[in-house]
Structure 1
């Protein structure tokens, strides 16, 4: 999990940034972290996952500091619980989570992958040219309680 979430993000970002610097292309890199990089999930024992996502957030900040001089912005998005194929399989194993998890946020629902499209487009576009080293947590208010 650490290899995929941290090393994978680092190696992918480095490969992209290498080409951006070589070709003098300013731009934006967005990595996907998780609200679990900021909070401990109630009722879930997942320290390695949470630590790996916290690592992605910090990696994004540090890469932003390193690559800003080349006009490369690096930000992270930290989603809340998303209904994905993997989560659907988890609900089969733990059906109570399907009804409990929505109650952990202020919108009383789980998110869908498409709930993050606008944020990704914003971070990748010229609408966010003065934004780097930031984590955009989109969790339905989960961490605001």
Structure 2
């Protein structure tokens, strides 16, 4: 099990106030890492994430800002490196989702999603890598989506699908730039997952449909994204870079 241990390492997780980001942040602590938790200033769940990590006996610091602001990210990763120790792990989970037919979509809606889901991941990786490259070691996991590989039946979200495809290919490009410099970059592409956004009362029927269309006949629990993240960050994946790991219950096999 030492292959999967993150003991003695320090991580930075964006979007750690809720959903997949929160569960990954807490589970990184279970694997032994200290965690810098980053989310928007109005994130209601960030303090809960910190409390859960500290209950596990690991160190945690709350960091707030916007992933579209390079200064916020630079200050946050610097804080992790200085207060917790050398930054060696990062997970970029901050993102948004919405839907609209292409012919009705306002440019503002398209641009806002791209700013957060693509520009935000780029700026996060940039800030993280600038520190990791100085240390000569690091591992980054970006949260993409199976929507970056397939087009979800019945969901009109061309902006979201193409943004997640961009994250996957951008991550591969970064992986190749940093492969000889000790920094690995991989992506996880979740299938339908029971995040707070998907468990709202108005989503009940749609979630049942998504579950029925998934070969495993259910949707994922957010905690089920933590194991793949830990694997890709750990020494168990030391020869893995540029990988897009589908965690979709078999959805993309159909």
TM tier relative to shorter chain: over 0.9
SS at match of 1:21: helix
Aligned ranges 1:45-124 → 2 under 5 Å: 45-89=156-200, 92-124=201-233
Shift of residue 27, structure 1, vs aligned partner: 1.9
- Aligned partner of 2:123 in structure 1 is 11
- Aligned partner of 2:237 in structure 1 is 128
1:36 equivalent to 2:147? Answer yes
**Count of aligned pairs:** 142
SS at match of 1:69: helix
Counterpart CA distance in 2 for 1:57 and 1:50 is: 11
Shift of residue 54, structure 1, vs aligned partner: 0.4
**Normalised TM-score (structure 1):** 0.94
Instruction: Structure 2 unaligned segments of length 5 or more: list them.
Output: 1-112
> 4+ residue stretches of structure 1 with deviation over 4 A?
none
Counterpart CA distance in 1 for 2:245 and 2:145 is: 10
Counterpart CA distance in 2 for 1:17 and 1:83 is: 31
Q: Report the aligned-residue RMSD.
A: 1.0
Give the structure with the larger helix fraction: 1
Shift of residue 99, structure 1, vs aligned partner: 1.4
1:8-59 per-position Cα deviation (integer Å, ceiling 9, x unaligned): 10101110100011232x1210000000000000011010000110010001
Larger Rg belongs to: 2
Q: Check 1:16–1:2 CA distance in 2 against 1; reply closer, same or farther (3 A cut).
A: same
SS at match of 1:50: helix
Shift of residue 94, structure 1, vs aligned partner: 4.5
**Normalised TM-score (structure 2):** 0.55
1:71-107 per-position Cα deviation (integer Å, ceiling 9, x unaligned): 1110000000111111122xx3344212111011110
Relative contact order higher in (CA < 8 Å, ≥ 6 apart): 1
